[in-house]
Structure 1
Amino acid sequence: MQTILESNKMDNLQQRLNHYQRQVQEGELNVVYEYLIKTLMQTKQYLVRQPERGFEYGNVAPGYLDYSYFPIVNNFLKKRKLRFGIVLNHQKLCLELWLMGQNVTIQKAYWQKLQHSQWNKHLTQMPQYSVLASELISHPDFTQKNALFIEIEKQLFPLMDEVMCFIEKIEK
């Protein structure tokens, strides 16, 4: 038998499902989401064309309308079971750089090493999916893709280098 509280949760869920269905039927959500995911894929392709930097790029994970990302690794990161991710934060509609561990054990170990770093000093606990998260571009102009790709490149590589140098320094 359902309690009143459970019944209210289901009513609220049903209202949310109805709202979701209306959004999907209107078509705007689908169009914008597809555009953003394709832009993330194109960003990856732009970066792939620079093999001299020594990075490998994984597939785009579209996510659940919360975060979409693709991983970036090199030998330094692989050795430590880490990877960077260029992340599209759907709620903030911004681009972030995350450092992630291969598993929970790696995440926790690197959180211990990085929790007081300049990237994490404002946090009181480890982020849910990463060891650190740093905003790359706070207000990306997704309508100007070439300029966006150049800006990502300009922000991305120095930041990744800075994080890797920091890790190397603290591991000595």
Structure 2
Amino acid sequence: MATLQECVIEYKSLLEKGEIQKAYKGILEFLMALRTHFEKQFPEWTVPGGLYTGYMDMSYFSIIPSSLKERKLKIAVVFIHEACRFEIWLAGVNKTVQAEYWQLIKDSGWTLYKPVATTQGADAIIESLLLDNPNFDDLPGLTSQIQKGIQKFILDIETFLSYKG
């Protein structure tokens, strides 16, 4: 395992090339634009707070559709930097809500989405792949793909909750 000093030397070397800064800035700008898009396109959704930029591990923002708000649930649109993919997470507004819905989904035998293994230390009830290998050269297309995936996920969750919740 590399020492911190060795990692910093590698980090500096990569920064000198300039591509990491451009990619990171571009990803964050896209996520901020995506967040704004949902805020404007779906006024019935609450899009709280800002963008969590993370430590180059993940960056995300939250969406709270009105149908989930009453249940104290929210959706997180998450970009996983190392894997370069988008995920969608179902989460509770607090650990108590999260544990309650995790148990409901786990006990239901629902197979469309698998709950996380445990709520201990987890930020989500469900973590699901939204989009692998996104094309950042086609931002309108990327926005459309993500929007369709989010809408499907929300509909699936709403349908499940209408029967089980």
TM-score in terms of structure 1 length: 0.82
> What secondary structure sits across from 1:35 in the alignment?
helix
Structure 1: which 5+ residue stretches go unaligned?
1-8
Conservation of the 8 A alpha-carbon contact between 2:46 and 2:66: no
1:25-104 to 2 correspondence within 5 Å?
25-51=16-42, 54-58=44-48, 59-104=50-95
The percentage of counterpart residues that share the same residue type is: 26
Match of 1:3 in 2: none
CA deviation after TM superposition for structure 1 residue 141, in Å? 0.6
Conservation of the 8 A alpha-carbon contact between 1:114 and 1:132: no
Match of 1:134 in 2: 128
Say whether 1:117 aligns with 2:110: yes
- Residues 54-105 of structure 1 show CA distances to partners (whole Å, capped at 9, x for unaligned) of 2121321111111111100133322222210111111211111111112222
Which shifted more, 107-116 or 139-148? 107-116
Conservation of the 8 A alpha-carbon contact between 2:87 and 2:127: yes
Say whether 1:13 aligns with 2:7: no
CA deviation after TM superposition for structure 1 residue 169, in Å? 1.8
The one-letter amino acid of 2:103's match is Q
Structure 2: which 5+ residue stretches go unaligned?
none
CA deviation after TM superposition for structure 1 residue 131, in Å? 0.6
The one-letter amino acid of 1:136's match is L
Say whether 1:154 aligns with 2:141: no
**Structure-2 separation of matches of 1:107 and 1:25:** 43
Between structure 1 and structure 2, the one with the greater Rg is 1
**Structure-1 separation of matches of 2:145 and 2:28:** 18
- Residues 110-147 of structure 1 show CA distances to partners (whole Å, capped at 9, x for unaligned) of 211123432116x5434822110111111211110011
Q: RMSD over aligned Cα, in angstroms? A: 2.1
TM-score in terms of structure 2 length: 0.85
**Structure-1 separation of matches of 2:6 and 2:148:** 44
**Structure-1 separation of matches of 2:134 and 2:41:** 22
